[in-house]
Amino acid sequence: MSGYHAGSRALQDLVGVRDRADHVGRSLGQDIKPVAAAFLELQPLLVVGAADPATGRVWASALTGTPGFVRATGPRQMSVVADSGQRLDSQPKGARGTARATTDDPHPNDDLTDPLTMALKTPGTLVGTIALDPRTRRRMRLNGRLRPTTRGFAIEADHVFSNCPKYIQRRESYERIDDRTPGAPRRTDQLQADQVEFIAAADTFFLATAHPGGADVSHRGGNPGFVQVVSPRELTWPDYAGNAMFLTLGNLRTDPRAGLLFLDWTTGTVLQLTGEARTEFTADGERTVRFTVEEAVETPAALPLRWSAPEYSPANPDTAR
C-alpha cells in the first residue's frame, strides 16, 4: 500500500497486522468524495498540524468559523477561509492572543501569537488536518501541501480518509459565543499546576506528527485521566487499539517531533504543546506514548464555541488507577 511509509510498515510488522493494514489502507485516497465534502461544510472546527518553518517544531492549532468556512473546492482540494490563528470569522476586537479574520482580511494578526501563523502563510507547507464532529462522532482527515490564497489557504490533498467513531465523546450541540474575548497567551517551557489539572480532566486531545513526505493530525480520546502528567515536562497516554494503520506512531518512529492540542469544550481555552514523543512497548504488548514538553502555549477563551456536556464513548477503557 503506497500510503504507508517505512515507519508505519515497521510497526505493522512488529504488531503483526500488516494484512489488516493493507485491507484498511484501501480507504486512503486523494479524492474528496461527495459525502466527505458535505461533511466538511457542516463543521465549525478544523484542527491543523504542521512544523513551524522558523523553529522546526511541530504544533497543532484549532481553526473555527461559520460552517462552510471549510469546503471542498475541487476533487482533490480543500479550501479554508481562515487565518493562521485560532479564531477566524469575527471582526477584530483588539485583543491579543488570537488571530481573527474576515473574508476581506485573512491575516490581520502579525504578532505571531499562534505558533502556526507563519506555517499557514508559507507556500508548500506540509499540513495535516482533521475535522471532528462530536455531534455525530465522525471524523475526517485530509493531509497535503498548503497554498496561501487571498482569503485564507487551500490544501492539495495527498491523503483523504475517515476513521471509525472509537473513543470520540459525543457532544450533542454547540453554541457560538461571539462576544468571547481571548486572553493573552501564556508561554512556558513546562506545565504549570493549573495546566496539569486541565490535562488530567481532558477526555480528548489532538496529536500532530510529521514524516519526510508530509504531516498528519489524529484524535486521541478516553475517559478523563487517560492522559497522565508524570512531571511538569513529561506526560504519557496509552495507545488504544485502533485501525491497524499506525500512521501516527509510524510517523513518530521516523520523526519524534509532535504537537498536542487540548481544548476546553466549555470555555474555549486552548493549550498547545510541542516537543518529542516516543512509543514504549510492554511485555504483554500494550503501548504507551511518552511525550516530553519543550514549549507550552495556553490561550484563555481562544475559541468562540461552547459545547454541551460529553457522553463518553462506550469504547473507552477504564482509567481507574
Find out whether 154 and 66 touch, Cβ atoms under 8 Å: no
Quote the CA–CA distance of 178 and 105 in Å, as a whole number: 18
Sign of the Cα pseudo-torsion (246, 19, 240, 136, in order): positive
Condensed to tens digits (0 to 9), the pLDDT of residues 171-193 reads: 999 999 999 999 999 999 999 99
296 compared with 318, residue with greater pLDDT: 296
Sign of the Cα pseudo-torsion (185, 183, 122, 110, in order): negative
Q: Is the pLDDT of residue 279 over 70?
A: yes
pLDDT for the residue numbered 2: 54
Q: Is the pLDDT of residue 96 over 50?
A: no
pLDDT for the residue numbered 320: 65
Cα–Cα nearest to 64, from 77, 49, 46, 79: 46
Condensed to tens digits (0 to 9), the pLDDT of residues 36-79 reads: 999 999 999 999 999 999 999 999 999 999 999 999 999 999 99
| Cα three-residue angle 121-126-128, rounded to 5 degrees | 100
Quote the CA–CA distance of 234 and 215 in Å, as a whole number: 23
pLDDT for the residue numbered 242: 73
- Residue 98 neighbours by CB under 8 Å, 6+ apart: 85, 86, 87, 109, 113, 114, 182, 299, 302
| Chain centre distance of CA 239 | 16
pLDDT-above-70 percentage for the chain? 88
pLDDT for the residue numbered 99: 38
Find out whether 146 and 153 touch, Cβ atoms under 8 Å: yes
Mean pLDDT of the chain: 86
pLDDT for the residue numbered 253: 86
45 compared with 243, residue with greater pLDDT: 45
Q: Is the pLDDT of residue 296 over 60?
A: yes
Q: Is the pLDDT of residue 108 over 90?
A: no
Q: State pTM to two decimals.
A: 0.89
Q: Is the pLDDT of residue 83 over 80?
A: no
Domains and CATH numbers, the chain: 6-307 (2.30.110.10)
pLDDT for the residue numbered 90: 35
pLDDT for the residue numbered 82: 59
Quote the CA–CA distance of 161 and 155 in Å, as a whole number: 15
